[in-house]
Amino acid sequence: MAKVETFCESPRFRGTCYRAANWRHLGRTGGFARQPGPTPRWRHHGQPKEVYVYELQPDARARLSQPADEPDWLSPPKLSPPPSCELRSLYDFLGDVPEFRSAHGKRYPLQTVLAAAVSARMAGYRGVTAFGQFAKLLSQEQLASLDCFYSPSRQCYTPPSTTTFHRILADLPPDTLQEALSAWCEHLSAEPEPLPQPAAASVPTVLAPVPAVAMDGKDIRGASKQTEQGRRMMVAAVQQGSGQVLGQVETESKSNEIPAVRRLARSLRLAGKVVTMDALHAQHRTARCLLKECAADYLVTAVKDNQPTILDELKDRDFSDGPHVETLEKSHGRIERRRYSVKDLSDKQWDGYAHLHGRQMAVRVERERTLVKSGKRSFEVSYALTSLSPERVTPRQLAALIRGHWEIENRLHYVRDFTYDEDRCRAYVRGLPQNLAGLTNAAVSLIRCRTRFPYLPVANRHFAARTDEALELILTPPQQR
């Protein structure tokens, strides 16, 4: 950092302390403020502020005038964004879903029904009955923008009915919808940066954040109760940090989420990323799939009794001689202290020890939890394995990856259960549960990546009152709003 800046509101303050401390006065702002909302709008409030800067280094002006702010080893080159002519909206990607209906009696394009369902999900509507009610509330201009059917007898645009939503979402092959949504997610998100390489000895090592994807399964309880074959479980992939849902698949009948994770990983672009998983996926076939087929790394956030040999070997090992990092968090009425101790297992002397294909390091996680009101304390220890080497990731980054894996529970599974009431939904016919979950994932990703709402219920109430903005997010490309 070469300079710092501050603002001083005038005429209430004159900035005397800043001037006395050798801060430089650059001028005044224009007196505009950004209004909240997904569309950038600026309002002139007529209260400009004085801008002051302070040079932290003698050559600050020369450093800031350089063409590159950071050396090549610190910031890997990023791919340039696609040209404006190649930018596509979610509505365009929904048009890539193959048509499965016959031409007889077809009034509404497939992308029209899917776009209306996504916009209804953004407004907080649940289920196909609510989708039909939402479509009836749209104005003629909104129905025309979605390319709805124009009735010559009524001389107006007609919205899709509840029966239309139910029939299409039940018969639509879920894989085709998920393929279009995954392609849209790749188009919406930035290209993943490669994991940084170790710097020269004479230059301080500063590693960039590691791109990570969390994978886990969720049982759709309402649909499972109505299905005779067994559970209806969906395995999803969520990008850590942004909370964007990259894709999902349904587990096969009489199977579990272990092979579904490998099937989902093969369908996504995971090269250069780290996939975080729970204890169930500490499997050799899953590790080989991620390392060899997907060119990605893995991090098993917990090793439990499903791998007893690995767990016993990790318990017998001393982690005190390796690097460690400690964290402290206070939230939800409790104080949690965590200590992450890292053990390098890349040397040949550890061959066959805690054997999981491609593992490079092990992490011992000690959690001490104290309830603020009662003062009750609890202590637990868990172990993690990763294919990342010590040269590519620091202990603090490992701690952030392990902690960030819970985003898929907090930012997706919890949202689908409580915000969209998925577990109480009794829809179970054919592909209806998976398609409804895919539309929910699309709405969640759209809200999080193109708006700035702190919580999804706030966004749902906003778009329920402003359906124009919800349709605008669906119909316009990401960088042309």
pLDDT at 299 over 70: yes
pLDDT at 192: 40
Closest CA to 401 of 418, 417, 415, 387: 387
pLDDT tens per residue across span 11-21: 778 788 888 88
pLDDT at 13: 81
Distance, in Å, from the CA atom of 219 to the CA atom of 226, rounded to the nearest integer, reads 13
Q: How far is CA 65 from the centre of its chain?
A: 35
- pLDDT band, very low/low/confident/very high, at 201 (cuts 50, 70, 90): very low
Check residue 139 and report its DSSP letter. Answer: -
pLDDT at 229: 60
Average pLDDT over residues 72-97: 62
Q: What pTM value is reported for the model? A: 0.70
Q: What percentage of the chain exceeds 90 in pLDDT? A: 7
Distance, in Å, from the CA atom of 31 to the CA atom of 47, rounded to the nearest integer, reads 5
- pLDDT band, very low/low/confident/very high, at 340 (cuts 50, 70, 90): very high
For the chain, the distance separating the N- and C-terminal CA atoms, rounded to the nearest angstrom, is: 32
Distance, in Å, from the CA atom of 111 to the CA atom of 96, rounded to the nearest integer, reads 8
Percent composition of the chain: helix, strand, coil (DSSP 3-state, to 5): 35, 20, 40
pLDDT at 290: 92
pLDDT at 194: 39
Distance, in Å, from the CA atom of 324 to the CA atom of 340, rounded to the nearest integer, reads 5
CA-CA-CA-CA torsion sign (237, 239, 243, 244) = negative
Distance, in Å, from the CA atom of 159 to the CA atom of 136, rounded to the nearest integer, reads 6
Kindly report the backbone phi and psi dihedral angles of residue 419, in degrees, each rounded to the nearest multiple of 5, phi listed first.
-80, -45
Distance, in Å, from the CA atom of 315 to the CA atom of 353, rounded to the nearest integer, reads 12
pLDDT at 221: 63
Distance, in Å, from the CA atom of 330 to the CA atom of 314, rounded to the nearest integer, reads 29
pLDDT at 36: 64
Closest CA to 194 of 208, 204, 206: 208
pLDDT at 384 over 60: yes
